Each structure stands twice: as C-alpha cells, then as structure tokens.
Structure 1
Amino acid sequence: MPFTPKPWPRRLRSQEWYAGMTKDAIYHRAWMKNQGFPADLFDGRPIIGVLNTWSQLNPCNAHLDQLAEKVKAGIWEAGGFPVEVPVFSVSESAFRPTAMMFRNLAAMAVEETIRGQPIDGCVLLVGCDKTTPSLLMGAASCDLPSIVVSGGPMLNGYWRNETVGSGTHLWRFSEAVRAGTMKPEEFVEAEASMSRSAGSCNTMGTASTMASMAEALGMALSGNAAIPAVDSRRRVIAQLSGRRIVQMVKDDLKPSDILTREAFENAIRVNAAIGGSTNAVIHLLAIAGRVGVDLTLDDWDRLGRDVPTIVNLMPSGQYLMEEFYYAGGLPPVIRQLCEMGLLHRDALTVSGRSQWEEVREARNWNPDVIRPPERALAASGGIVVLKGNLAPNGAVLKPSAATPALMVHRGRAVVFEDIDDYKARIEDESLDVDETCVLVLKNCGPKGYPGMAEVGNMGLPPKVLRKGITDMVRISDARMSGTAYGTVVLHTSPEAAAGGPLAIVRDGDWIELDVPNRRLHLDVPEEEIARRLAAWKPTVPVPEGGYARLFHLHVEGADKGADLDFLKGCRGAPVGRESH
C-alpha cells in the first residue's frame, strides 16, 4: 500500500516531556541525567523504547537481554536515543493456571507503558508464545511506530541419533511411555536433548508461528522469523531493526499503516502454508480487534482453504526450524504464495517497502523443506473452521496435523467434565472407550479453565495406545500447543462454562465430524438439546477478586480472539497533562 512519510524534522511526542525550560521539562531531564545521559540526547532526536520481555523464568526469552544491546546499538547508530523498558513476560512453560490467561494482562500493561511514557517509537523484543501477540496488541492499541524483533528458535535436539523437536517429541515420548514402548528412564534421558540452546521451540509451534505471523503482517524485517537464537545473524537483524525504527519514527510509519485488512489476509494464508499453530487464530483475531480490522473465524476458513502446506516442519512434517532457516526461511514461502496469486503483493512492511519488494529475490535452497505446491504436505492446509449444533460460533481443526482417515467420523462420546475429571479417569482400565469413540473435554475455555489452557490434545487411554493406535477424534473448548498434533477439534464456541452446547454433551451421545463439509454435529434430537440447555447451570465459579475476576467477567469467546471486551480498538497514545 502507498505510504507517504511525514516531513522531518518535526516536534516529537517525547518533547512534551523534555523540551523547553519549564519546571516540568527540567524535572524530567534532571532525573534521566542521573544515569549519565548527556544533555544533547534531549534535543529532539527520536526516543525509542526497547520493550524487553527478558526473564529468567521465561526460558524462550532468557537471552533477550543480550539481544537488546544489539538493538540499542542500531538505535544509537541511526541517531536515536534508546531506553530499555522491561515489560510483562508471559512464560508458556511456567505460568499457571495457563499463560493464555495473562496474554491480555501483558497487552494491557504494554499499552499503558507505551501510552504513559516519553517514547516516540518501540522495538518489541519477543520470543515465547504469548509475548509476540501481547506486545503487538499493546502496540496496535497505541499506534506509535513499532517493529518486532523475535528471539529466534533453539537449535535442533538430538537423542540416540534421532532428531528431537521440542514439544512435539514430548507428546510422542509421553504416549510411548504410557503405551509401554518406552521406558520412563529413557524419557528422562531424552529430556536433556529437548531444549539444548537458548531460544523458543524449534518446531513450527506457536512461538515460531507468531514470529512468522509478525513477518507476514509486515511488522518485522524480512527474514526475522526463522534465524536461530544463537546464530550471529539473529544479532545482526536486531541491530538492523534498531536502525530501522529510528527512520520509522521520522517517517511516522505506524502499526495502523501496516496492519491493514490485506496484511491479515496475507498472514492467514502464510499460516496455512507453514502449517502454523491453531493458536494463531486467536492471536490474530485479537490483534485485528485492537487495530480496528473486522477479522472473523469465517475469514480463516475462506482464505486458508485452498492454500497448500508447503513447509515440511514438525509437528505436521519432518524437519525443524534450523533446516527451515537454512532453506531460506519465510521469504521464499511468501514469494511462492505471491507467485501463486495468493497474497496482496503491495502490502506495506516496516521496511517501507512492499511484501513483494522484500521477497522477490528470495531463494529456496532446500525443496524438501520448502516444497513446491505439487509436493505439498496437504493440498488444503489452512485452519478448518467447523460449525454445527455443537459449535454454533465455530471450532477449529488443523488438517496438516490430523489423520486423513478421521476427517469424516461418527463416534460415541466419552465425556470429561473438566481437566481434573480427565486426569482422574483416562488411565482407568475400566473406562468404556475404544479407538472409535470421541473424547470430549468440557470447561477448558477462556472462562472455564480459567484462561483456556493447552489441554485439547488429550493423551489417549493406555488401553487404546497398547493397540498401536496413535490418534482419535478429540473435541474441547481448550487450545493445544502449536507443537502438538492429532485430529483435535479446538476452541469450541460458545465454551461450556458460558453455557455452550458442549456443556450438555453426555457419555454415549453420538457425534459427527465432517471436515470436508465443515460440520460438527451432536446427534441428539433438537428437543432433547433444548431441554438439556434449559436445565443447565454454571459450574465454574466467578473468582472473588483480582485480575482473575476481571478476566472472567470481561473475556470474550475464542471465536473473537479471547481479548477483554473493553480493550478493543485503537485508542492512540496521547500526551496527558501533568504538573509538579
């Protein structure tokens, strides 16, 4: 999209704090000078907030303190004034009850950090699953010039001469132990190989998916998504991003200029091509809501339906993020989609150039990692949106990670009322279940868990695993890890805790899954469904106080991005009045 830079020089937002000889200006400058900053740094040059999600309790992001130094070097080089600002860091591996519950809190904190402080632009230093969407949501709400720098994926894991994908092999090895084909001590031995360097998951999990989404949206420099965390080129792109944000401030190139309807349509199609995480659905819906783009679940199904999955990465395929980077990373994927006529070539990026200008010279160095369309992992790789009397507002499924034979299936429901019920009963040898059944998990949506945890890829009953069965149809209002796989129906909306039809499913009910026709049907007479819904009463209590109560009362459904209802829309970053 055409973009016209604003004239430079001009008065910047930060000058409302630092310019002039008023008492307030002297107060602000004097306090900053206790860090040894020279007076001429307050002369009107762009002040850039380096919003850093570094945390030692967030292993994916524990190296971002080092990356921040390279970002700051780039800002200094371009004539800017970098200020590093720690922001809420949501760790996927440690936060309870689930990191997803705190994505919105992090976004709210980031938004107010941007709005309330004297900065003219932002570098969003992200890595772990929720840090990318939360910082993008906050930045979109404020609409100051912003650029994403991802921490990058960790190196490949290896165990007994087998390539090990973080997350994906955790699920596989766990099932093998429960099936009796792997010893517990071997599982522990393999543990050391799963996360052997700094960085986020080395599979196409949610972290790498969201890094790819940031690049596909145009909010990161081309090539940002795939560079391994410990590769020197990760530090190079951090420094280049620091340089770039200064010019973005001078040009007044804002998120609202980049995050257009066309940008989101591009991202949805790129997600299909890379076999991206189902979590991208919720996060892109939330980001779109913040910038005022009317994106819906139906858009996901419509736009992704005819896009082939051409990136051969776990959990859908064979390779890991290292091989993806060596093959060329995301740029040749975007180029391929552009040449197929599937993307908006003119969509603007943070570079000031279009997507097509960024990728037209990109090369694919390994056609088994980034496959040609005729050798795609899945001819129709987009996220499937299912609807029916069991999911009136929609549910999602990832075809590239599912079993083709189960895409049309009718089975008897085996119902778990919540995650505790599932854990208590799934290994019971007397459980009335076989591989033809449909496992149903309730009360794990945004209100139910609370927060909507990644428990939708329920482990199979040991009695089924011992038969050599590795997949069953599973349905829930939960999410699943982007590293997971299986014929798993997720995000069923409305959720059970809000009185959706999932809440009234009973053991022995028959459920029909028809992916080609996008149908999810509870085979129970309409009169009986109406009777059950009329008799339903909430079982999930409203928290007594704190953020948990705020979240419960205001969180929207998964079909709307699970954001808080009062955070929708771009509210800008005005400078408020103050006096000392």
Structure 2
Amino acid sequence: MVKKINNFSKKITETDDLPASHAMLYAIGIKDTDFKKAQVGIVTNWYEGNPCNIHLDKLGKIVKQSIQNKNKLNVFQITTIGVSDGITMGTSGMRYSLPSRELIADSIETVIHSHHYDGVIAIPGCDKNIPGVMMALLRLNRPSMIIYGGSISSGLYNKKKLDIVSAFEAFGEKNVGNISQEQYKQIIKHSCPGPGSCGGMYTANTMASAMEAIGMTLPYSSSYPATSKNKEIECQHSEQYIYNLLKYNITPKDIVTKNSIENGIKLAISLGGSTNLIIHFLAIAKCANIKLELKDFQYLSSITPVIGNLKPSGKYLMEDIHKYIGGMPVIIKYLINEGILNGNCLTVTGQSLYENVKNLPNINFKNQKIIYSLKNPIKENGHIKILYGNIATKGSVAKISGKEGLYFRGIAKVFNSEEEANTAILKNNIKKGEVIVIRYVGPAGGPGMPEMLKPTSYIMGAGLSKYVALITDGRFSGGSHGFVVGHITPEAYYGGVIALIKNGDFIKIDSENNTITLEVEETEIKKRRQFWSPNKSKIQIGYLYKYMKTVSSASEGCITDQ
C-alpha cells in the first residue's frame, strides 16, 4: 500500500500551531492546495567561478521547471559551496579543497533537516562536490538522487586534444625549453573551452562513474557531456524518478550497500580512476554505516583489471565514452555480464543495475581503443596499491599504472612544503634516481591535505616521470600520474616516520609486494625521533583550524563527524 509522501514536510505544513511558518510559505508563493504536497530540495553546487560549476544553476532550473510542470510536488532550489581545484592548485587556497567536502555535506544536511524537506535532488560538479552531497544524502536518508553536472568538452590546439592537465604540464615543458612561450600561451587558452568538470578520468569523473555504478544517478549521468542536449533531457526526466522514490520511500541506504559500494569502486578501478576515491569512499561508507577499510581497496584492485584507456595514464576523455562507446551504461553492462559488477543492486530508477542496462547494445571492441576487452586488458589487475612499511605503518596509496614500472629505489630529496618542491623542480635541481618527499601536507599538517598536481605535472613536463618517484602525506589530483605514493599515514605533523627522513636516505617502493620502506636501521629512526619536535601549525584561526582539530587520518577517510 502506497503511503503519504510528505512524511517530513507535513510536520510544518499540516501543523496548526506554526502560523509563522505558514506565513513564510505563503510569502514564497505556496498556495493552499500546495500544503499537502511533498517538498523537494534541488541542491546545486553552483557558482560562477569555476567551469565545473558555472552551469549547474541552469540545470537546476530545468529540473525545477520539469517538476513544476507536473504540479505534484513543491520544489525549492538551494545552493551550496564549491572549491575549484584547478584554480587553487598549488596555492594556499588548495588547503580548503578537501575540507569543502565536509562543509558541503554539513550545509545540505542543515537546510534539508531544518526545513523538513521530503526529498533531495543534488546536482554536483567538481570533484569534492560529489562525495560531499553523497555524504549528506546518506546522513539524511530521505528519497534522493544525484544528477552529475557532466564533463567538459576537450580543447584543441595545433591538432592536439587538450584538457586541464595539458595546461599544468605545459608549464613544465616550457620550463625545460620543449615549447615556446607562444605555444604555452595557446595551450592555456585552449585547454578548457567551456562548462563542465575536467574531462579525463580524474576525480570528478571517477566519482560520477562510481555513483552511477552504485545506483544513485540515472543511467548515462556520468558520461553525458555538460553542455549536451542529453544532459538537459536527463534533468527533465528526473521529475518522474524523484516522485517514484518518494512514492515507494526508496532511500539512499536502500541503494548504497556493501555490494553497490564495491560496484562503484570496481568500476572506478577498471577505468583507471583517481586515488581520491579511497578517502571519499571511506567517508561515504561511514555515513552509510558500512564497514570499509584500506585492505578492501587492495583486494578489489587485485581482482579488477584496468580496461579504460583514459587520461591521465591513458589517451582518451569522458566525451569519447559518450561519443564512441555509447555511454557508461554500455560499460556497466559488459562488466555485469563478465561477473565484475553485481547487477542485482537497487538503483534510483527503482530497478536493479542490470535491469537498467540489459536491453542496451553490447560493447564493440572493434575500431576503438578507449575501452579494452577483459581478455586483453590494459592491466591485469588494478592500478591502485595500498602500501605498508616503516614509512606508512597505517597505510599509503599508490597509483601505479605499470608504465612507470613496478619498483623504485632511490635517494630521498626532502621538502617540508609543496612550494619548496615546486621551486626545486623548476630550477632543475631534481636528479634522476631521486625520491621526492613532500611532507607536512597531510590532513592536519597541511592543513587540508592539498593535492600535489603541480609537482607531478612539472615532473611530467620536464620528462622525469620514468626516472623519479614522489611520496607525500598529502594526496594527488586525479590528473596526477607517474610513480607516486600519497596518503602516507601517520602523517609528518603527528610524527610519522616520513617526518624523520633525511636527504640521502634510500627509499624503496615495491608495488608488487605492496611495501614502502625507509632503508634506515630502527635504532637510527628511534634516535632521530628523540630530536624531532612537531611543527607549529601554519593556521591558528578559522575553519581550517577547526578542521585540523577534528579531522581523521587519510586511512580513515579524512572525516570530521567522529
């Protein structure tokens, strides 16, 4: 039997002793006939300062108009924050990127709870937006769905496709004289041609793909380009799905299960996705009351081949999946049929993941090199490695595609900030065979665990990617590639062994045995610890100060609601 769908809003709209509440609802245009309708919040991460987010208000208005046309629900637009990783990368502003995830989740929870909305449609863009809204939806656990804002179109210069990482790497190329100042300027001008999230399998597209595999978006949401007619149609169709979710009281915790989370992780790994998925999925799982640990990522990576020839390690962009593969559901169908994904999981359509895709054409491996067959994968198992050792007793995360090799032993070159490392790379002070160590940039030490895309891009641009490694207690952008290890825990700020490394020490990274080792005797490490003292935090006031006091380690998802 179908129940009433205004389970939360009726506490305000159908209560006689809240006259001021009713007066304010009349003031915003609610009519007498609307008071018994369910109320839905449309939450966008819209702001004008970032291509990933600039169009989200337009998408939200399409959703709102579609719902109003049916006249079954009351609908209200809400805007929460976002931080542009691309704009803040390499600056002090990047410290706010990961912490913005918590603000997004907290702000959505605050508005929906306080106003007693019955359901939510969330429209995120940039990469912290997606886990932020997902965390909020799980905490709220009211009928909800996500519409991904979509990825950007590729840029073009000199007959070469470009994206945001092209811009970062161009600086390194210019610095070593491989391109001219004019070529550099043209690459910058043409890398980002309009609205949409960064086009490779970077963090935004990684998380969007994962949300589709989990079942929290409609089919195709992750692969429809931001400016496509398909994205507008998806927004228009959302009305019928949010109504059905309300009607049958299907909530995020009905959809987000251990099996569906594993689906999301495995799809992301198969496409060569960002290492950021680890801290985001750890946080999402906690909000869903599902046990998930670092060892689970190692296991899932070990049984999931990489078949996506996608940037940054590969060649293609999300727009190519849309144009040449037929969209993400075609890949999902293939992975279900091959036993990689569990097709029985419930989705926001009210049907299972398999039912959503079963009637689609099978993937065609001829005449395309974007998605490979499992019979001939790019990599037999996943590119994500969880490494342990005396440097990382609580774990670390490596992104090893195999192109850079599986083993690296080199001499430590230590930096206590990203800025120092960037200066050294640009001054050509990094030599082949060195392991760059960037520390005091963890969740508390940063604070905010900024991404190290600048140094990894400079390394790539300088042609050093095969000859040096980089380790850090910070994290990496989805656009980073090379022999890199991040999320080192315990972090330097709390006296982790990474804080005790000295220039000239040998460091061994073995991705086959999943180890990262400082080749220094334990007695020497203990001696160094006696002379170590914690650095005073760079931040003594404001949100980042509160964040560093409450944030968990990277191995626990960098969450603050403990």
**TM-score, normalization: structure 2?**
0.94
Partners of 2:260 and 2:345 within 8 A in 1:
yes
What is the aligned partner in structure 2 of residue 498 from structure 1? Answer: 494
What is the aligned partner in structure 1 of residue 403 from structure 2? Answer: 403
What is the aligned partner in structure 2 of residue 388 from structure 1? Answer: 389
Provide the rounded CA distance (Å) in 2 between the counterparts of 1:19 and 1:295.
41
What is the aligned partner in structure 2 of residue 526 from structure 1? Answer: 522
In 2 relative to 1, CA 187–62 (structure 1 residues): closer, same or farther, beyond 3 Å?
Answer: same
What is the aligned partner in structure 2 of residue 16 from structure 1? Answer: 11
What is the aligned partner in structure 1 of residue 225 from structure 2? Answer: 228
Task: State the SS of the aligned residue for 1:219.
Answer: coil
2:83 partner amino acid? V
1:267 partner amino acid? G
The 5 A counterparts of 1:126-145 are 126-145=124-143
Partners of 1:445 and 1:497 within 8 A in 2:
yes
What is the aligned partner in structure 2 of residue 117 from structure 1? Answer: 115
> Does structure 1 residue 486 correspond to structure 2 residue 486?
no
What is the aligned partner in structure 1 of residue 34 from structure 2? Answer: 41
> What is the Cα deviation at residue 485 of structure 1?
1.3
The C-alpha deviation readout for 1:95-131, integer Å capped at 9, x for no partner, is 5143113221222112212211121000011011111
Provide the rounded CA distance (Å) in 2 between the counterparts of 1:469 and 1:348.
42
> Does structure 1 residue 65 correspond to structure 2 residue 57?
yes
What is the aligned partner in structure 1 of residue 278 from structure 2? Answer: 281
Partners of 1:271 and 1:382 within 8 A in 2:
no
2:549 partner amino acid? L
What is the aligned partner in structure 1 of residue 554 from structure 2? Answer: 558
Task: State the SS of the aligned residue for 1:60.
Answer: coil
Task: State the SS of the aligned residue for 1:453.
Answer: coil
Name structure 2 gaps, 5 residues minimum: none
The C-alpha deviation readout for 1:45-85, integer Å capped at 9, x for no partner, is 22100011110123211111111122113323272211111
Partners of 2:123 and 2:149 within 8 A in 1:
yes
> Does structure 1 residue 516 correspond to structure 2 residue 543?
no
In 2 relative to 1, CA 206–128 (structure 1 residues): closer, same or farther, beyond 3 Å?
Answer: same
2:309 partner amino acid? N
- The match for 1:149 among 135, 147, 150 is 147
What is the aligned partner in structure 2 of residue 578 from structure 1? Answer: none
Task: State the SS of the aligned residue for 2:347.
Answer: coil
In 2 relative to 1, CA 541–117 (structure 1 residues): closer, same or farther, beyond 3 Å?
Answer: same
Provide the rounded CA distance (Å) in 2 between the counterparts of 1:332 and 1:412.
46
1:361 partner amino acid? N
Provide the rounded CA distance (Å) in 2 between the counterparts of 1:248 and 1:325.
27
The C-alpha deviation readout for 1:231-270, integer Å capped at 9, x for no partner, is 1010111122232112111211111111111111111111
Partners of 2:391 and 2:517 within 8 A in 1:
yes
1:123 partner amino acid? I
> Does structure 1 residue 212 correspond to structure 2 residue 204?
no
Name structure 1 gaps, 5 residues minimum: 1-5, 569-580
Partners of 2:6 and 2:118 within 8 A in 1:
no
Task: State the SS of the aligned residue for 2:410.
Answer: strand
What is the aligned partner in structure 2 of residue 575 from structure 1? Answer: none
What is the aligned partner in structure 2 of residue 203 from structure 1? Answer: 200
Provide the rounded CA distance (Å) in 2 between the counterparts of 1:465 and 1:324.
27
Provide the rounded CA distance (Å) in 2 between the counterparts of 1:82 and 1:460.
44
Q: Where do 4+ consecutive residues of structure 1 move more than 3 Å?
A: 423-429, 459-462, 464-471
> Does structure 1 residue 88 correspond to structure 2 residue 84?
no
The C-alpha deviation readout for 1:199-244, integer Å capped at 9, x for no partner, is 1111111111111111111111111101001110101111222321
> What is the Cα deviation at residue 348 of structure 1?
1.2
Identity across matched positions, percent: 30
> What is the Cα deviation at residue 36 of structure 1?
2.8
2:558 partner amino acid? A
In 2 relative to 1, CA 526–221 (structure 1 residues): closer, same or farther, beyond 3 Å?
Answer: same
In 2 relative to 1, CA 540–139 (structure 1 residues): closer, same or farther, beyond 3 Å?
Answer: farther
> What is the Cα deviation at residue 38 of structure 1?
2.3
What is the aligned partner in structure 2 of residue 249 from structure 1? Answer: 246
1:410 partner amino acid? R
The 5 A counterparts of 1:410-449 are 410-428=409-427, 431=429, 433-449=430-446
1:523 partner amino acid? E
1:412 partner amino acid? I
The C-alpha deviation readout for 1:507-535, integer Å capped at 9, x for no partner, is 01111111011011111001111222343
Q: CA RMSD in A?
A: 2.0
Partners of 1:456 and 1:488 within 8 A in 2:
no
Partners of 2:263 and 2:341 within 8 A in 1:
yes
- The match for 2:356 among 331, 335, 358 is 358
Task: State the SS of the aligned residue for 1:507.
Answer: coil
What is the aligned partner in structure 2 of residue 301 from structure 1? Answer: 298
Provide the rounded CA distance (Å) in 2 between the counterparts of 1:350 and 1:35.
30
Partners of 2:456 and 2:480 within 8 A in 1:
no
The C-alpha deviation readout for 1:135-179, integer Å capped at 9, x for no partner, is 111111111111001110111211110111222x12332221122
Task: State the SS of the aligned residue for 2:411.
Answer: strand
1:37 partner amino acid? I
1:103 partner amino acid? R
